[in-house]
Amino acid sequence: MVSIKFPKPDEGFAVLVDLDRCIGCRACQVACKEWNGLPAERTTFTGSLTSPQSLTAKSWKVVFYYEGVTKKYLLTPAGEVAFSQIEISSLPFNCMHCVEAPCARACPVGAIKVTPEGAVVINRDECVGCGYCQMACPYDVPKRGDDGKFYKCTFCVDRIQNGKEPACVEVCPNRVFTFGPARDIIEKARQEEAKGRKVYGLNVDKYVGGSVRWIYVTSERRSFAIDRHFADKGKPVAVQEVREVLKPLVTIGGAALAGVLAVLGFVAWRRARVEEKK
């Protein structure tokens, strides 16, 4: 297996996402497409504001919308009246850039790089399309493209290395995203947590290294978005099983292993394409 050096949790960069400030305008989603040169894709009407319905190889950032019921109180001449109100909370989502990324640990050919900035990046030229990164990801992020290879958010590491913020951070009209050194962002998140706000990303499963670089914060009133979006995410999945499957293949040798995995990736890609046509 490929040896990977992960930056420490407080090294590199991170982002604090304040959901209370998000107005669901999708400027971040559009900026991601523009900066990365990602094409538009055909979507279908589902009755939800979320479009597309999940991350794809052509949509590396998607704003998800969740409905929740909050209790309100109205003071009337007859006294205080309680009533329920439907509230919609938007949640911008992309790769979480886990501190110890399971996808990078699972990739048998080392196609997923972890930079000193903390960005977890798939090298397209090295990806053989085996799909083990997708199986290992607890957030269902890597997606197979039309060419059989996998794609996801790069943390705009090309921008970061040139002194700029990620594209989505830069364009947000309501300052939802706070980008900076991981140490500072972690401290900000802890301060918000101490104020009674809900935080996701500081203390997650050790499977991802105990924390992620995209940290979410919100008030209790809108916490249902975090609860629903991350309810079944961030937990251990298939990395160990992947390693066990690969053990007998590793002895074959690097080139032969890559060939075997490329064939497996092609088969998986063809199967996915056939399913899409049905």
Least confident of 65-79, 146-160, 215-229, 231-245: 231-245
CA dihedral 102, 108, 109, 113 (to 10 degrees): 10
Domain 13-277 coded CATH 3.30.70.20: yes
- Minimal CA–CA distance to 250: which of 139, 94, 115, 109? 109
Phi, then psi, of 84 in degrees rounded to 5: -100, 145
**266 secondary structure, DSSP code:** H
Which pTM was predicted?
A: 0.84
Write out pLDDT tens, residues 182-223: 999 999 999 999 999 999 999 999 999 999 999 999 999 999
Per-residue confidence (pLDDT) for residue 3, from 0 to 100: 64
Rounded mean pLDDT, 115-121? 98
- Minimal CA–CA distance to 173: which of 16, 38, 24? 24
Least confident of 89-98, 116-125, 240-249: 240-249
Cβ–Cβ contacts within 10 Å for residue 61, how many? 23
Specify the higher pLDDT residue, 45 or 126.
126
Rounded mean pLDDT, 108-129? 97
Per-residue confidence (pLDDT) for residue 244, from 0 to 100: 43
Query: Is the pLDDT score of 255 beyond 60?
Result: no
Per-residue confidence (pLDDT) for residue 247, from 0 to 100: 43
Residue stretches of the annotated binding site for [4Fe-4S] cluster: 22, 25, 28, 32, 95, 98, 103, 107, 127, 130, 133, 137, 153, 156, 168, 172
Query: Is the pLDDT score of 267 beyond 70?
Result: no
Residue 249 confidence class, pLDDT cut points 50, 70, 90: low
Per-residue confidence (pLDDT) for residue 238, from 0 to 100: 55
Cβ–Cβ contacts within 10 Å for residue 29, how many? 22
Within 8 A by CB and 6+ apart from 99, the residues are 6, 7, 8, 9, 118, 208, 209, 210, 211, 212, 213
Domain ranges of the chain: 13-277
> Considering the chain, what is the average pLDDT of its residues?
88
Residue stretches of the annotated binding site: 22, 25, 28, 32, 95, 98, 103, 107, 127, 130, 133, 137, 153, 156, 168, 172
% residues pLDDT > 70 (the chain): 84
Collapsing DSSP to helix, strand or coil, 229 comes out as helix
Query: Is the pLDDT score of 278 beyond 90?
Result: no
| Strand ranges, E, within the chain | 13-18, 62-76, 79-93, 112-114, 120-122, 143-144, 150-151, 177-181, 198-200, 214-218
Amino acid identity at 165: E
Q: If you search the block for the tokens 């050096």, which residue do you land on?
A: 5
Residue 275 confidence class, pLDDT cut points 50, 70, 90: low
Query: Is the pLDDT score of 261 beyond 80?
Result: no
